């Protein structure tokens, strides 16, 4: 787009004064800081294994795909199958213990909750693709072929993608990051991409992640409009002491935010159905 300020700035003030926000994350405090997820943005959500990246991605998909929002999510699940991803979404929506159900811990009450949540989930505007060969070119092809408008793209996760050329891993991840940013702009939608953090965070005195911990590529830090880092202190307490308990406290660290403040959002983590939520009202 070419924008000529001499001709096209008549609506500039009205656009600036527009207080509508972008698509929701499902966590109120995060949305207050970020003002939602806006079109053309690349949002990186990063954390070490076990921090809940995929869980937060599913939370966001459910928040945006809720029929009351009127938006459609295209969710690329490179780590899990469609079946597992959709089952976890169902457990999340029903607020039931996923692993307990898989071990046969089903009761009439839980079955009733699942029936109700299943009917509800069938109305959500969420499309899941688990093609293991997903790369930026494939995503573009799918977006061009979609008959309905896709409002948000979620990729779980960057390190499982490749570009199909013989380049070193750092160059490859950098290229994927640039391409996802280009897709966000080309299709005018937010692209939310998950990423791993490097292992250095586990060897520091403080386990809280930093922006510099983004794995394999500083390009993600540069390309992203917003970067969210996940931290659950109890995770490390349990690793050190098997008798320690998960107190449900989590942090979403807004490490980069081009349109607003950075900071630490304290939120709740419910391990039973693997979901983040506001603290303490909903916890």
Give the pLDDT confidence score for residue 283 in this predicted structure: 44
CATH of the domain at 158: 3.40.50.300
Given a contact cutoff of 8 angstroms between Cβ atoms, the answer to whether 43 and 225 are in contact is yes
- Using one digit for the tens of pLDDT, what is the confidence trace for 203-260? 666 678 888 888 666 688 889 999 999 998 877 655 555 665 667 889 999 999 998 8
Q: What is the mean pLDDT of the chain?
A: 87
Beta strands in the chain, from DSSP E residues, in sequence order: 42-47, 73-77, 126-129, 152-156, 191-196, 226-231, 249-257, 263-270, 275-278
Q: State the total domains in the chain.
A: 1
Report whether 184 contacts 40 (CB < 8 A). Answer: yes
Q: Rg of the chain's alpha carbons, rounded to an integer?
A: 19
Q: Is residue 259 part of a domain?
A: no
Task: Establish if 1 belongs to a structural domain.
Answer: no
Cα–Cα distances (Å) from 138 to 125, 129, 134, 135, 143, in that order, read 21, 11, 6, 5, 9
Position 20 confidence tier, pLDDT thresholds 50, 70, 90: low
For the whole model, what pTM was predicted? 0.88
Per residue in 187-197, pLDDT tens? Answer: 999 999 999 88
Q: Report whether the peptide linkage leading into residue 176 is cis, meaning its omega lies within 30 degrees of zero.
A: no
Q: Is residue 178 part of a domain?
A: yes
In a domain? residue 261:
no
| Residue 84 maps to a domain | yes
Within a domain: residue 47? yes
Residue found under tokens 């009127």: 70
CA 109 vs. chain centroid, Å, equals 30
Give me the percent of the chain exceeding a pLDDT of 90: 57
- Distance between CA atoms of 275 and 209, rounded to whole angstroms? 20
Asked whether residue 271 is assigned to any structural domain, the reply reads: no
Domain range for 179 is 37-228
The answer to whether 252 and 228 have CB atoms below 8 angstroms apart is: yes
Whether omega before 111 lies within 30 degrees of 0, making that bond cis, reads no
What pLDDT is stored for residue 239 in this prediction?
A: 56
Q: Kindly state whether residue 75 falls inside one of the protein's structural domains.
A: yes
Whether the per-residue pLDDT at 170 is higher than 70: the answer is yes
d(CA 5, CA 165): 41
Cβ-count burial 101-111 (b if 16+ within 10 Å, e if not)? beeeeeeeebe
- Judged by DSSP in three states, 59 sits in helix
User: Worst-scoring range by mean pLDDT, 120-129, 162-171, 181-190, 264-273?
Assistant: 162-171
The whole-number pLDDT of residue 139 equals 96
Tokens found for residue 249: 């406290």
- Using alpha carbons, select from 194, 258, 260, 190 the residue that is nearest to residue 226: 258
């Amino acid at each position: 787009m070419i924008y000529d300020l001499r001709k096209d700035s008549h609506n500039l003030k009205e656009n600036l004064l527009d207080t509508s926000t972008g698509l929701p994350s499902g966590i109120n405090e995060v949305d207050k800081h970020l003002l939602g997820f806006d079109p053309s943005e690349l949002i990186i959500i990063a954390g070490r294994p076990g921090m809940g990246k995929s869980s937060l991605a599913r939370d966001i998909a459910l928040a945006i795909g809720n029929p009351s929002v009127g938006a459609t999510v295209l969710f690329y699940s490179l780590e899990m199958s469609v079946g597992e991803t959709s089952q976890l979404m169902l457990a999340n929506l029903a607020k039931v213990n996923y692993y307990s159900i898989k071990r046969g811990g089903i009761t009439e009450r839980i079955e009733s909750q699942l029936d109700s949540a299943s009917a509800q989930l069938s109305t959500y505007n969420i499309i899941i693709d688990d093609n293991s060969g997903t790369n930026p070119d494939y995503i573009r092809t799918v977006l061009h072929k979609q008959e309905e408008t896709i409002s948000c793209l979620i990729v779980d996760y960057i390190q499982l993608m490749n570009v199909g050329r013989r380049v070193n891993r750092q160059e490859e991840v950098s290229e994927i990051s640039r391409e996802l940013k280009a897709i966000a702009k080309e299709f005018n939608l937010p692209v939310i991409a998950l990423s791993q953090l490097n292992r250095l965070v586990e060897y520091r005195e403080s386990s809280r992640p930093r922006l510099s911990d983004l794995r394999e590529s500083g390009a993600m830090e540069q390309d992203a409009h917003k970067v969210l880092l996940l931290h659950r202190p109890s995770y490390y307490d349990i690793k050190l002491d098997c008798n320690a308990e998960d107190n449900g406290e989590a942090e979403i660290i807004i490490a980069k935010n081009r349109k607003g403040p950075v900071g630490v959002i304290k939120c709740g983590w419910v391990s039973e159905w693997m979901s983040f939520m506001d603290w303490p009202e909903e916890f």
